[in-house]
Each structure stands twice: as structure tokens, then as C-alpha cells.
Amino acid sequence: MKGVKVEVKAERDIDETVQSAVRKIFEEMNPLMRSEAFPRQASMVVIFRPDRYYPKGKVINLSLTVPNHCDLRSRSAKERLIRDKYLAQWGLLEEA
């Protein structure tokens, strides 16, 4: 299946995960369970709670691309904390 692009969006208002969204769409034909399927790029939205700097909170979009690209390098220190701390905790980053 070279050149096939699949986009899955998890609904944040119902606390849906990407895996549950894929299961719901594809049922038994889940492409994430196939050995030849490999995600090469992911986009995600991170929502910060309100604080003294952003009283209404803050939403940032970020992109992760195989093998090792993340577009957080030029962002603020708070936003880079996502890359430096949370991506590994969430299982989205392997330490070299």
C-alpha cells in the first residue's frame, strides 16, 4: 500500500485515544495492527491550562516526523518542555 494516507482524529471532548478511534473506524481491519503499517508523521494539539501568563490557556499544534523531527525547537521554554519531558513519558520519543 505505498502512498496511502490515512488521517484519524480522536475526539478530545470525549477523551478518545487515537487507538480507540482507529478501532472504531476500521474494526477488525485495524491498520495499526498490521506489520507493514508504520506511522511516519503525527500531528497533535496540546492544550495548556490557564496560568498567570496565559489566563485563557493556550493551544499549540505540533508535528512529529520519523525518524527524529519535532517542530518544538524554536518555541518558548514552556512549549519545549513538551519535547524535553512529556514526549518520552507518553511513549512518543526514544532516548538515544
Can you tell me which residue has the cell 503499517? 37
One domain, residues 90 and 48: yes
pLDDT tens for each residue of 10-20: 666 666 677 77
One domain, residues 57 and 81: yes
One domain, residues 24 and 64: no
One domain, residues 72 and 27: no
pLDDT tens for each residue of 28-65: 666 666 666 667 777 888 888 898 988 998 888 888 88
Q: List beta partners, residue 61.
A: 45
- 3-state secondary structure at position 11: coil
Q: Distance (Å, rounded) from C-alpha 64 to C-alpha 42?
A: 5
| Number of structural domains the chain divides into | 2
pTM of the complete model? 0.57
Domain containing 9: what range?
A: 1-38
